[in-house]
Structure 1
Amino acid sequence: MVIIPSSYPAQGIFYMLGHPSLFKNLICPILLTIIWGLAMLIFGFAYLLKLQAHALINVKCPAAVAWIVCIIFVLLEVGVLSILFYLIILPIYQDGLFDRVLKLRGLKHVLKANEGNDLVKCMRGVSGGLWILFFQILVLILTLPLNIVPILGQMAFAIINGWVLTFGLRFHYDAEIRNISVLQSRREAWQRRSDYTSFGAVAVGLEMIPIANIFFVWTNIVGCALWVADEIEKSEAQLQLEQSSQTLMGTHQNIPLKVNTLNYSPGSRVTGVNSGLPSYTPQMQPQYQPSDPYAHQGSPRVPPKNKKHPEV
């Protein structure tokens, strides 16, 4: 199985369209964001608009200009608050969508094997998620001026933010399924920065498309889950192959020695299927004559020395 990380954002689109049940994970956060936006809109025009307009009028700003400027301010404030609300609740539903894709791929046993310590996982996920969100916003603000440069600047913006985006998308798998720390997850993300960047650059490019980016935010999660699922299946197949090889080797090592007793006669060599073994004759058998035949308990009774042993 050849894994090409940059292909998974596109795979996520087709996989999500082919599995309509995944759209259930989108309904709740979108509805909550719409309700929150309407509430902020009502609050803004009922309270903030008058407050801000009167503040401008008190500093000798013309009333008409003050009201127009405050309407624009309120719309911007509602938009920013709605986006922040969406970004805060998004990881909760991202994790659910990620796990659902793994279940559809037949990897439910991976999720079950890592159940337990929910409080520890929750604390790790929340703390790590907030740190990653802060880091994403910081990198986004610092690299935003790159978009001024046509094509090359946007490509650089997608590449730089791509690594950070992939780190955030895979963090749920690292922290809550693999049970590794934020530091270990970040170290592995940096070691695999080529794969992370190739996936993330395509994902960021899709999320830069206006309007459609609302859909691509979710398909990128599906694509990341498909990437992880392929890695898990590849690892399990390799482990199964190694176990089969070890079992086969153990079977060969336990094959008993087979001797052809039909060709055996006193004084002749033992012949059998295993060639290369040293030849054996009855005369090579050591003549054991203990000084005290009853010195060791449990040893067989040995005839006295003046009696000859029968030949074997």
Structure 2
Amino acid sequence: MVVIVPSSYPAQGIVYMLGHPSLFKHLICPLFLTILWGIAALIFGFAYLLKLQAHALIEVKCPAAVAWIVCIIFVLLEVAVLSILFYLIILPIYQDTLFDRVLKLRGLKHVLKRNEGNDVVKCMRGVSGGLWILLFQIMVLIITLPVNVIPVLGQMAFATVNGWVLTFGLRFHYDAEIRNITVLQSRREAWQRRKEYTGFGAVGVGLEMIPLANLLFVWTNIVGAALWVADEIEQEESRMQQEQASHGLMGAAEAGSYHPGNQFQMTAQMHAPSFSQQQDPYFAQQQQSSLSSPYAHQGSARIPPRDKKHPEV
């Protein structure tokens, strides 16, 4: 049986994705759309926002050279923020497809088929829950961002706090659209298993904090979460099969203990005289008389017919 260590699955996701190149096709579309969005935002920023912001600073008596330099930096930051937000918004759409693809590669296609149906309900639950989780992630990210000023310990605290939120978001698709549980039930389970969720998420957030490489690690974390879920499903199915096998063996043992001859043996034992009765002379006399009687083997006691020659008065 596989030992589940949640903190190891982000690394397993990297290895698994590199070993299955077919998974990379799920990255092409969102990255391409994000690049297009970034280029459009960059053009809009330098064509419109740069002049607007620079003139605003110049009007408040800011030196022109300083105003233009500051505004260029502002525009680049604004474009980066807009690109990240766009990427985070479209990411859940494609991460669910990647998640399901990993389950299929692990031979768990039957789990997805078994939970088909009520697509409208699942879609509404997934969209509403996904938006709530996204807003929650952004809020926690903004609140905990200042702790990164503290060297090492600040980054560890940041990864730990945001790690639980990250894991909750990655596994929500499985909870809402495969297990068919509500957002409240998913959140309650995530909090009950916060040690496991934090262990996985802390490593995942740490990987996503690496510049440029985080564009890949965002996806490998999804693969890692899917591998974690796949191992849990396989363990649960294995446990259920063992229980069914044990129940089957118990039923076969109980059926094998029954034999048609046993019933006659038990009946004979019930009607057999005890040792004390065998030693009793009165019982022996009654038994002998019953054996000599022509009615001893009848189902009930019978009275012999009257003698016609000597009728009773």
TM-score (norm: length of structure 2): 0.83
User: What amino acid does structure 1 have at the position aligned with 2:186?
Assistant: S
SS at match of 1:211: coil
In the TM superposition, residue 254 of structure 1 has moved relative to its aligned partner by 2.4
Residues 1:172 and 2:173 are matched in the alignment: yes
Unaligned runs of 5+ in 2: 274-286, 291-295, 307-313
In the TM superposition, residue 63 of structure 1 has moved relative to its aligned partner by 2.9
Look up the match of 1:266: none
Residues 286, 74 of structure 1: alpha-carbon distance in 2 compared, 3 angstrom cutoff: farther
User: What amino acid does structure 2 have at the position aligned with 1:220?
Assistant: N
Which structure dedicates a bigger proportion of its chain to helix? 2
In the TM superposition, residue 286 of structure 1 has moved relative to its aligned partner by 8.6
Look up the match of 1:201: 202
Look up the match of 1:57: 58
Look up the match of 1:80: 81
In the TM superposition, residue 306 of structure 1 has moved relative to its aligned partner by 3.8
User: What amino acid does structure 1 have at the position aligned with 2:179?
Assistant: R
Of 256, 259, 265 in structure 2, the residue corresponding to residue 257 of structure 1 is 259
User: What amino acid does structure 2 have at the position aligned with 1:289?
Assistant: S
Residues 60, 151 of structure 1: alpha-carbon distance in 2 compared, 3 angstrom cutoff: closer
Of 269, 272, 278 in structure 2, the residue corresponding to residue 278 of structure 1 is 269
Deviations 1:268-300 (Å, cap 9, x if unpaired)?
A: xx76xx9xx935559899953389xxxxxxxxx
Deviations 1:148-172 (Å, cap 9, x if unpaired)?
A: 2222222222111111111111001
Look up the match of 1:296: none
- What CA distance in whole angstroms lies between the structure 1 residues aligned with 2:213 and 2:145? 20
User: What amino acid does structure 2 have at the position aligned with 1:259?
Assistant: G
- What CA distance in whole angstroms lies between the structure 2 residues aligned with 1:29 and 1:253? 60
Residues 1:288 and 2:299 are matched in the alignment: yes
Look up the match of 1:264: none
CA RMSD of aligned residues (A): 2.7
Look up the match of 1:243: 244
- What CA distance in whole angstroms lies between the structure 1 residues aligned with 2:211 and 2:245? 51
Q: What does 1:104-143 align with in structure 2 at a 5 Å threshold?
A: 104-143=105-144
- What CA distance in whole angstroms lies between the structure 2 residues aligned with 1:145 and 1:260? 81
Decide which moves more: 237-246 or 132-141. 132-141
**Which has the higher relative contact order, 1 or 2, with Cα contacts under 8 A spaced 6 or more apart?**
2
Decide which moves more: 149-158 or 94-103. 149-158
State, as a whole percentage, how many aligned pairs show the same letter: 76
Look up the match of 1:100: 101
TM-score (norm: length of structure 1): 0.84
Aligned pairs, how many?
Answer: 284
In the TM superposition, residue 243 of structure 1 has moved relative to its aligned partner by 0.9
- What CA distance in whole angstroms lies between the structure 2 residues aligned with 1:123 and 1:305? 88
- What CA distance in whole angstroms lies between the structure 1 residues aligned with 2:244 and 2:83? 52
SS at match of 2:261: coil
- What CA distance in whole angstroms lies between the structure 1 residues aligned with 2:260 and 2:81? 82
